[in-house]
Structure 1
Amino acid sequence: MIPTASDRLIRQVLIIDPDPRTAQVLLEILARRGARGTVAATDTHVRDLLSRPSWNLIFLALELDRITESAATILARIRSEFPERPVIMLSGTDSARSAIAALRGGCTEFLVKPLQPNTVEAILDAHLPRCDLSVLSYGDSAGTGQWAIVGIGAALRRTVELARKVAPSTLPVLIQGESGTGKELLARWIHSESRRAANPFIRINCAALNDALLESELFGHEKGAFTGAVALHKGRFERAHGGTLLLDEITETSPAFQSKLLRVLEEMDFERVGGKENISVNVRILSTTNADILARIAEGRFRQDLYYRLAGLRLHILPLRHRPEDIPQLIWLFVHQFAPETGRRIVSVDADTLELLARYPWPGNVRQLRNTIRSLMILGTGEVLTLDDVPSVREELVGNGFQAGSPSVGNSSSLNSADLTLDQLEQTAILAALDRTSGNQTRAARALGISNRTLREKIKRYRQQGCLQSTE
């Protein structure tokens, strides 16, 4: 079933217990709480279900009739593969020795059967995420939130609905948006909802490789094709056969490489580097860019005919500063994602913290917000998420005076943030970061949660606009 805009985050609970009465009690409580319970009562069930990373919480019985592995062995596997996952041990006997062993083994709680509903409900409240997030779509079939597209804004809804319509087809899609807005996430969701979902999803970062390496990585090479080619190497096109190939940051390729790529996309065949055999593939192409691709075409830096080949449909993801209504939803999504890792139960977000997070321009977009919430979860304490717990994070966000209702940075006027456009707020945050790092672009980019290349492009634009003096 394809989730709709009214769907909520699916909470997944695994019950490893062959006792049908206990399993039924837990399933009934989970159903009342809107969570999905799955029972593993045999060796096959345990083996197949335990490998999935989708569980928010696991109930594990100490007595495992009809299951070969012991509870201790299963617990050790869980702790090894998913160390942050909370595990509740269930036992038919009230044994202090068993309880101590379970807690030492990494269990969060030890419950004695028969289970008391109030106790189970308290555990669910402590360990399961809130279910009132507005999830527009899932990038994973389990709907766990790891790849959830969350938001309530009309612009994001329109983008997701267009993606939903085009997903089952083979139409090439170009996804445009700033760094950190979630372009790859949307591409993965399009693949997961296509008829190719069972086949490979292969990604390549075009910005990270020069022409020679990019050609070798995409098309592969024969043994001995060049120095260091000690074996045959299948390229990403071959590996994506029958599936989807994502060309990430496609606008960073050179015109020479674009010509080669255009021919391959037209014919869907190619030769490996150093080879003579024609290799035919059936691949759906998705691509992303954080640049203004139409401007690149006008400047002669991107081929117009390649654009037409890639952009059967062009989707645009707005930067986070243009959709502040989605920020509270994203905050809670990340709180739930990092709760197992940090062992914290957050019941509310401090009002001043929420206001600052909602007004901050987020140059690094969702990626920067995610890293900020993770820092607050790891370094803070208590059940309220607040910047007061972590002054260093507040300083990064506030900068030299950026704050709701405070004077702007990098501008001698006394305008406060309410008087500025969102683009001016972004500029303010970037200039403040450069000021705090004494112009060190690497450190500034890291503090902002954006790539060095993105920061360089913004600095270049500010210099052209006269907002930043060149030191070159």
Structure 2
Amino acid sequence: MDTILIATRDPSTSTAMRRILSREGQVSAADSPDQIWQQIKSNAWECLFIDLPLMEALSDVLDHSADPKALVQQLKGLRPLMAIVIIAGNDNLRKAVRYVQNGVSSYITAPIDADEVRLVVDEISRERRQQSELAYLRERIWKDDSLDIVQTRSPKMQKVFDNLMSVGPTKTTVLLLGDTGTGKSFAAKLIHRRSNRKNGPFISVHCGAIPETLIESELFGHEKGSFTGAHRRKLGKFEVASGGTIFLDEIGTISKAAQVKLLTVLQDGIYQRVGGEQTLTANVRVIAASNSDLKQMCTDDLFRKDLYYRLNVFPITIPKLCERKEDIPLFVRAFLNKFNQFDTKAIQGVHPGVMEALLRYDWPGNIRELENLLERAYILEKTPALTPESFPSELFDNAEAMTGIPIDTRETLDVVRKKGLAEIERRYLKEVLSRNKGKINASASEAGVGTRQLNKLMHKYHLDKGIFK
């Protein structure tokens, strides 16, 4: 790390931290809430070490007393890349843990232990490198027009990305689970790009699209004359993928005979072409995917249990689009950018009513359905933004009346009141942003708030100014 801010009123702590971190980069100190806040506003610190009393004092200064989550969100809103580490005595560890649960990177104990500080710094640096690598991979994939799930605001999807990054460099067999259209193929490509086989081929096989009588030949190849129509030797996908990765999509559809051969490949790394006697070595990494419940298929004797256990070494479930709706505005922008590359329309956004409908819809076809619906609307649209007239009317049939706020009488009055106020605030901001075509300064002036406050509220309600332009 190049820049570190140490915030403490204890001179011995400050001296010890400066000595330990002097080799890490530029180290500065602050000892009052006002000074800390000014330093954070003025400089893009990579890491802030702050003792617990000063963190609590900073919370009071910024009007977030007794609300660690709000304070951390404000700090992260201003410096999203800044790691925050709490310094706490043994009698205050419970409070330090509470801050970690609300977004702080880590904590260390006082008196300062050099090994503990270095361990925390190493962990933060390692996580920063992983995030940089992920961002690099996303940028490469973006350039390849693989727009399915390159960005996320969803905690569920972020965990998936973390798992993909972790398993990528290993040799482990991966089983991707999830509904059709959730992005399993993209996830498989990301694992391949992260692996040490990234310079080798990536061969994708949609097992469900291959007739049962041909699946063995397709995967393992065949010899000339091995069956009617086999006029010459054919190399199977496992040979073609040598040195790289083979992705077996819809693995649950393959025949029992092909399951036996695949099990041999996974167990012993060998196979034979159909009609052949030569034993071949499989130099591939296997990634499989299924939208069926393979475990239940094993119970129903439709899928071999031993093969399932071999495939299920590192399972990753890709969430449905309805479970990550906060990503829909990102997908809309990405798909519009993609369509604009092949058309002169230059459509830049969608009508707020359309976005409302997109966020309400359950998306049984997931990301693929969203892309298809947007592409159809793009073709029909005559204005610079996608309007309701370009979408099927069914998308708006279940729209909630904008004048009504749902009330759940099973909840307390306080909870219902907070939800109602939040909904009113969200709708108000949408109307203001829509009227001002997403212009922050004009919208903030009309709403009677500062631009920083408006940006915070937009982040809170997942409102992207781009959709109002």
TM-score normalized by the length of structure 1: 0.54
**Quick one: structure 1 residues 142 and 208, their matched pair in 2 at CA, closer, same or farther if it must change by over 3 Å?**
closer
Matching of residues 83-94 of structure 1 within 5 Å: none
Q: Say whether 1:402 aligns with 2:401.
A: no
Distance 2:406 2:366 in 1: 18
Could you say which residue in structure 2 is the equivalent of 1:66?
Answer: none
Distance 2:294 2:270 in 1: 26
Distance 2:294 2:331 in 1: 28
Q: 224-233 or 145-154: which moved more? A: 145-154
> How far apart are residue 297 of structure 1 and its match?
2.2
Gaps of 5+ in 2: 1-133, 409-469
> How far apart are residue 223 of structure 1 and its match?
1.1
Distance 1:403 1:372 in 2: 17
Could you say which residue in structure 2 is the equivalent of 1:253?
Answer: 254
Could you say which residue in structure 2 is the equivalent of 1:147?
Answer: 146
SS in 2 for 1:174: strand
Q: 366-375 or 289-298: which moved more? A: 289-298
> How far apart are residue 396 of structure 1 and its match?
4.6
Could you say which residue in structure 1 is the equivalent of 2:180?
Answer: 179
1:170-202 Cα shifts (integer Å, max 9, x gaps)? 111000010000000110111011111111111
Distance 2:358 2:400 in 1: 10
Could you say which residue in structure 2 is the equivalent of 1:54?
Answer: none
Matching of residues 215-294 of structure 1 within 5 Å: 215-294=216-295
8 Å contact kept, 1:201–1:245: yes
SS in 1 for 2:258: helix
> How far apart are residue 146 of structure 1 and its match?
1.2
SS in 1 for 2:235: coil
Name the amino acid aligned to 1:178. D
Distance 2:190 2:138 in 1: 4
Name the amino acid aligned to 2:392. R
> How far apart are residue 403 of structure 1 and its match?
2.8
8 Å contact kept, 2:175–2:311: yes
SS in 1 for 2:315: strand
**Quick one: structure 1 residues 405 and 302, their matched pair in 2 at CA, closer, same or farther if it must change by over 3 Å?**
farther
1:335-376 Cα shifts (integer Å, max 9, x gaps)? 100012221223432110000011111111000101111112
SS in 2 for 1:246: strand
8 Å contact kept, 1:219–1:270: yes
> How far apart are residue 145 of structure 1 and its match?
6.3
More helix by share: 2
Name the amino acid aligned to 1:180. G
Matching of residues 350-361 of structure 1 within 5 Å: 350-361=351-362
> How far apart are residue 303 of structure 1 and its match?
1.8
Name the amino acid aligned to 1:402. N
Name the amino acid aligned to 2:395. L
Distance 2:362 2:407 in 1: 12
8 Å contact kept, 1:321–1:362: yes
Name the amino acid aligned to 1:395. S
Could you say which residue in structure 1 is the equivalent of 2:50?
Answer: none
Distance 2:407 2:334 in 1: 27
Distance 2:281 2:317 in 1: 31
8 Å contact kept, 1:163–1:190: yes
> How far apart are residue 269 of structure 1 and its match?
1.3
1:182-237 Cα shifts (integer Å, max 9, x gaps)? 00011011101111111111111111223320000001011111111111100000
**Quick one: structure 1 residues 279 and 256, their matched pair in 2 at CA, closer, same or farther if it must change by over 3 Å?**
closer
Could you say which residue in structure 1 is the equivalent of 2:329?
Answer: 328
SS in 1 for 2:158: helix
> How far apart are residue 264 of structure 1 and its match?
2.2
1:257-316 Cα shifts (integer Å, max 9, x gaps)? 312221122121111111111111211000000112222222222222111211221001
Name the amino acid aligned to 2:146. W
**Quick one: structure 1 residues 302 and 136, their matched pair in 2 at CA, closer, same or farther if it must change by over 3 Å?**
farther
8 Å contact kept, 1:178–1:290: yes
SS in 1 for 2:341: helix
Name the amino acid aligned to 2:319. L
Matching of residues 47-446 of structure 1 within 5 Å: 138=137, 141=140, 143-144=142-143, 146-148=145-147, 149-388=150-389, 390=390, 393-398=391-396, 401-405=397-401
> How far apart are residue 387 of structure 1 and its match?
2.3
**Quick one: structure 1 residues 316 and 354, their matched pair in 2 at CA, closer, same or farther if it must change by over 3 Å?**
same
1:224-261 Cα shifts (integer Å, max 9, x gaps)? 11111111100000001110011100012233431222
TM-score normalized by the length of structure 2: 0.55
Distance 2:315 2:299 in 1: 17
8 Å contact kept, 1:346–1:385: yes
1:42-69 Cα shifts (integer Å, max 9, x gaps)? xxxxxxxxxxxxxxxxxxxxxxxxxxxx
SS in 2 for 1:297: helix
> How far apart are residue 329 of structure 1 and its match?
0.7
> How far apart are residue 320 of structure 1 and its match?
0.6
Name the amino acid aligned to 1:397. L
Could you say which residue in structure 2 is the equivalent of 1:98?
Answer: none
Name the amino acid aligned to 1:394. P
**Quick one: structure 1 residues 179 and 142, their matched pair in 2 at CA, closer, same or farther if it must change by over 3 Å?**
closer
SS in 2 for 1:329: helix
Name the amino acid aligned to 1:247. L
Distance 2:136 2:260 in 1: 35
**Quick one: structure 1 residues 295 and 418, their matched pair in 2 at CA, closer, same or farther if it must change by over 3 Å?**
farther
1:13-51 Cα shifts (integer Å, max 9, x gaps)? xxxxxxxxxxxxxxxxxxxxxxxxxxxxxxxxxxxxxxx
Distance 1:296 1:199 in 2: 33
Give the count of matched residue pairs. 272
Distance 1:328 1:236 in 2: 38
